[in-house]
Structure 1
Amino acid sequence: MTDHPIVDTSTAQEIARDLVVIPNQDVDLVPNIGIIGGSQSVLVVDTGLGPRNAEQVLKFATEYAAGRRLYLTTTHFHPEHAFGATAFAGEATYLVNSTQATDLSSKWESTLAMFNQLGPAVARELDGVSQPTPDLVYADSHEIDLGGRVVRLRPTGRAHSNGDQLIVVPDVSAVFTGDLVETGQFAIFPWFPPYETDVSGVAWIKVMEHLTASNPAIVVPGHGAVGDTRLLVDVRDYLTELRDETWVRRDSALPVETIAEEVRALMIERHPDWRLPEWIERGVGCLCSEY
């Protein structure tokens, strides 16, 4: 991992009225971060990796809000998306769905330990991090009235993680997807048995089918360039072909290692410009375990 996982707020772009994205610029472990404004309040989507990144995001959001109330939500519990949330304590109301709250409490220590092994640049950003505690936890979908703009928080159920949620801005037909969707890279399958096995390729495909059918005009992925519904179609189709190519080989009783090797080669051939092919094998392993 050569790039340092630092959020650069100077690159922020307004992609619609009172809707800003701080782009990740294809830097590993930097998410796309959203700032969604209404007349009374501003909602921040995701924090960046660790307290120092989150402090920069909070500073930017506070200046952007110009006195408006701050809210924070996170697309899922993984460290580059949520582990900076404590920097917002006392400054913003942090709200997540109940499954994500469970992920934050039950998987905090093990996930932090795993990410600390990803190299000194990552460990440095996680130094001093503390466990986030949401201010508001909701069971099902939730709406926030920011003043003249309602934002919908919609849990999807198990897919990339147990607590994934979509952040939908209906008035401009925009959706923030977290790591359910990436641009120009292979889908991230956090499949590390026996330690981490929450991801479900089968459920993820169903989520993408429903999301694609909603046909949003603006799609903000977890990582990579902002797009439109065509980005959702690309991810849906990739996950489907990954499942189909994996299952036809599994049903022929090939060893998992052989399946992974063959499917990796095939996916790279079909998507030669995509980044992070190391996630293909993880996806094969996950799908081999599912029916």
Structure 2
Amino acid sequence: MAEYLYPEPVVRITDARELARDLVVIPNRGVQLVPNIGIIGGTHSVLVVETGLGPRNAETVLKFAADYAGDRKLYLTTTHFHPEHAFGAQVFTEFATFLINKAQAEDLATKGAGYLAMFGGLGEPVARQLEGIELPTPDLVYDNSYDLDLGGRVVQLRATGRAHSKGDQVVTIPDAGVMFTGDLAEAGQFAIFPWFPPHDTDVSGIRWIAVMEQLAAADPQAVVPGHGDIGGPQLLADVHDYLQLLRDETWLRRDSAMSEETIIEEVTALMIERHPEWAGREWLAPGIGCLCAEHPA
């Protein structure tokens, strides 16, 4: 990852849009390491989904959310522990209740420092946003599911189990038919596989496919991916179908005792041929490597 120079990962609120009643999305505008951010309101409380990368981005998000909330109580949650999603939570400490699932809290505590160092090596624009980072401790930790009452609106927080990370969480607003997936789904790019053996091997392509089937069964009307344009149910289907194809093509070659290097070369070429317009080609090799490791011997 350190060989790639990332652009300035800055959250901009100028394009914030209302997706449904009292539900605003600050889009990532196609900028790498900037997530889609949600502001979800009820009569007495407002939930913020994602912080952006580092304190300065989080300050931008907090100011927008506080102005939007008015005198309503603030909550913060993150879809998983990765830096652009959660490494600004310290800014919210005195202003919001930070709640996440247990597996995500464990990821943050055990892997946070390592990811901070790794992301700090992604170039000066990224390192600048990470200055002054203090890894946060959540105020409220739940096991697998939590229903947050914002007043006249209940938001469902659900841990999915191991997939993109060990602690993935989806955020669903049933009355609006909206689902925030975090990096379980991306629009217009290859799935992000944080497969970094031996340091982090918690991503599971097999489990990820199963999770996408579960999310599709919930039949949301609007899907807010971790990165990329907001879509509908087809976005979940596209991610599922891609992951399944990646698995099948990888395992087909693994069955023939082909070397992993050759598998990566052939499957990468095939996936690019299928999706030449997708970004994130650097994630193909880690995804194939992960699925090679998950191949049933």
Q: TM-score normalised by the shorter chain: which range applies?
A: over 0.9
Mapped contact 2:6–2:122 kept (Cα < 8 A): no
CA distance in structure 2 between the partners assigned to 1:59 and 1:125 by the alignment:
17
Cα shift at 1:109: 1.1
Amino acid at match of 1:255: S
Cα shift at 1:3: 2.2
Q: Pick the aligned partner of 2:219 from 212, 215, 219.
A: 215
The answer for the alignment partner of 1:116 in structure 2 is 120
The answer as to 2:269 corresponding to 1:271 is no
The answer as to 2:201 corresponding to 1:197 is yes
The answer for the alignment partner of 1:21 in structure 2 is 25
Runs of 4+ in 1 over 2 A off after TM superposition: none
The answer as to 2:30 corresponding to 1:33 is no
The answer as to 2:72 corresponding to 1:73 is no
CA distance in structure 2 between the partners assigned to 1:77 and 1:61 by the alignment:
21
CA distance in structure 2 between the partners assigned to 1:145 and 1:2 by the alignment:
38
Q: Pick the aligned partner of 2:64 from 47, 60, 63.
A: 60
CA distance in structure 2 between the partners assigned to 1:176 and 1:28 by the alignment:
18
CA distance in structure 2 between the partners assigned to 1:115 and 1:269 by the alignment:
30
The answer as to 2:108 corresponding to 1:104 is yes
Q: Alignment partner of 1:205: what SS?
A: helix
The answer for the alignment partner of 1:126 in structure 2 is 130
**Percent same amino acid among aligned pairs?**
65
Tell me, which stretches of 5 or more residues in structure 1 are unaligned?
A: none
CA distance in structure 1 between the partners assigned to 2:214 and 2:137 by the alignment:
30
CA distance in structure 1 between the partners assigned to 2:6 and 2:120 by the alignment:
15
The alignment of Structure 1 onto Structure 2 pairs a total of residues equal to 291
The answer for the alignment partner of 1:236 in structure 2 is 240
CA distance in structure 2 between the partners assigned to 1:232 and 1:218 by the alignment:
10
Amino acid at match of 1:218: A
Q: Alignment partner of 1:115: what SS?
A: helix
CA distance in structure 2 between the partners assigned to 1:73 and 1:130 by the alignment:
17
The answer for the alignment partner of 2:171 in structure 1 is 167
Tell me, which stretches of 5 or more residues in structure 2 are unaligned?
A: none
Cα shift at 1:252: 0.5
Relative to structure 1, the CA distance from residue 223 to residue 285 in structure 2 (aligned partners, 3 Å threshold; closer, same or farther) is: same
Q: Alignment partner of 2:57: what SS?
A: helix
TM-score, normalization: structure 1? 0.99
CA RMSD of aligned residues (A): 0.6
CA distance in structure 2 between the partners assigned to 1:107 and 1:279 by the alignment:
20
Q: Could you give the per-residue CA deviations for residues 232-261 of structure 1, whole angstroms, max 9, x where no partner exists?
A: 000000000000000000010011010000
Cα shift at 1:2: 4.7
